[in-house]
Amino acid sequence: MLVLQGPYFLIFPPVNVHLRGFVQSMIFKNTVVTELKLRPVQNKEKSMNKTDLVNEVAKVVNTKKDARAVVECVLSSITKALENGEPVSLVGFGTFKVADRKSRIGRNPQTGQEINIAACKVPKFVAGKALKEAVK
């Protein structure tokens, strides 16, 4: 195992290596990487996940259990409406709806061969005016 100082660590021997940087000399199976130049990973802001959302709702309702139930209910209601093809409009926030994606011809990136991509339905979100203004 090779450990680098800082936020990077690598475990060797790898089978297929993809690094954000350049490896000058890489040798596999119980040998050493002689020179490794890495670009620092961009610091991305932490995105809010479902647990964070439950914690925010829990500040308003009595318990985390109630908050989890509220979040689950809202998400399942939106999902069921979209399954039935119904749009969900939340005034000021936005609209969830189902969009039809036409069939098209794509290309296999490994072989370059053309392939047919079937038509499908995809969920779509359109931000409302108040949300757009808040993000500005």
Domain identity same for 131 and 102: yes
Nearest to 96 by CA among 107, 112, 85: 85
What is the average pLDDT across 26-54? 61
Question: Does residue 43 belong to any structural domain of this protein?
Answer: no
Question: Confidence class of residue 6 from pLDDT cuts 50, 70 and 90?
Answer: very low
Q: Which residues contact 6 (CB under 8 A, 6 or more apart)?
A: none
What are the pLDDT digits (tens) for 21-34? Answer: 444 334 433 444 44
Question: Does residue 44 belong to any structural domain of this protein?
Answer: no
109 HSE (CA, 13 A, CB side): 0
pTM of this structure: 0.61
What are the pLDDT digits (tens) for 52-107? Answer: 999 999 999 989 999 999 999 999 999 999 999 999 999 999 999 999 999 999 99
Domain identity same for 136 and 94: yes
Looking at residue 43, its pLDDT comes to: 56
Domain identity same for 25 and 62: no
More confident residue, 40 or 75: 75
Question: Confidence class of residue 7 from pLDDT cuts 50, 70 and 90?
Answer: very low
81: domain range?
Answer: 49-85
> What 3-state class would DSSP assign to 134?
helix
- How many domains, the chain? 3
Looking at residue 26, its pLDDT comes to: 40
Q: Is the pLDDT of residue 20 over 70?
A: no
Domain identity same for 132 and 111: yes
